[in-house]
Structure 1
Amino acid sequence: MTADYLRNALTVRLARPDDAAGIARIHVRAWQAAYRSIFPAAYLDSLSIPKRRALWAELIARGMPRVMLAQRNDVIQGFIAWGASRDNDKGQADAEIEVIYIDPSQWRRGVGRMLIDEAINAAASEGYREVTLWALEENVQGLRFYKALGFALDGVFRTERVGGCEVCETRLHLAI
Structure 2
Amino acid sequence: MRALIRPAGPADAPLLAAVHVAAWSETYGELLDDDVLDAFDVDERRVTWETILGPRRDPLSTVVVAEVDSSIVGFATSGPPRHHRPAREWELASLYTLSSVHGRGVGAALLAAAVGTRPTEVWLAAENARATAFYRKHGFVEDGTTNWFDRWRMTEKRMVR
Q: TM-score, normalised by structure 2?
A: 0.90
Q: Name 1:63's counterpart in structure 2.
A: 57
Q: Name 1:137's counterpart in structure 2.
A: 126
Matched, 1:104 2:80: no
Q: Name 2:2's counterpart in structure 1.
A: 9
SS of 2:74's equivalent in the other structure is strand
Question: What displacement does 1:42 show?
Answer: 3.3
8 Å CA contact 1:60, 1:66 repeated in 2 = no
Question: What displacement does 1:55 show?
Answer: 0.4
Alignment: residue pair count:
158
8 Å CA contact 1:80, 1:116 repeated in 2 = yes
1:25 maps to amino acid: A
Give a deviation string over 1:58-117, Cα, whole Å, max 9, x none: 1112323321101123211100010011232338x6100111110121111111011001
Larger Rg: 1
Identity %: 28
8 Å CA contact 1:29, 1:104 repeated in 2 = no
Q: TM-score, normalised by structure 1?
A: 0.83
Q: Name 1:82's counterpart in structure 2.
A: 78
Aligned equivalents of 2:124, 2:142: Cα separation in 1:
10
Question: What displacement does 1:10 show?
Answer: 1.5
Query: Which range moved further: 96-105 or 64-73?
Result: 64-73
SS of 2:45's equivalent in the other structure is helix
Matched, 1:30 2:26: no
SS of 2:86's equivalent in the other structure is coil
Question: What displacement does 1:53 show?
Answer: 0.7
1:100 maps to amino acid: L
Name stretches of at least 5 consecutive residues in structure 1 with no aligned partner: 1-7
Aligned equivalents of 1:12, 1:83: Cα separation in 2:
17
2:6 maps to amino acid: R
Aligned equivalents of 1:78, 1:27: Cα separation in 2:
8
Give a deviation string over 1:92-145, Cα, whole Å, max 9, x none: x61001111101211111110110011122xx5xxxx41100011111111111
Matched, 1:94 2:83: no
Name stretches of at least 5 consecutive residues in structure 2 with no aligned partner: none
Aligned equivalents of 2:65, 2:52: Cα separation in 1:
14
Aligned equivalents of 1:131, 1:30: Cα separation in 2:
22
Question: What displacement does 1:12 show?
Answer: 1.1
1:56 maps to amino acid: W
Give a deviation string over 1:134-173, Cα, whole Å, max 9, x none: 011111111111111111111211111124x2x1111011
SS of 2:122's equivalent in the other structure is strand
Aligned equivalents of 2:73, 2:102: Cα separation in 1:
9
Tell me the C-alpha RMSD between the 2 structures: 1.7
Matched, 1:161 2:154: no
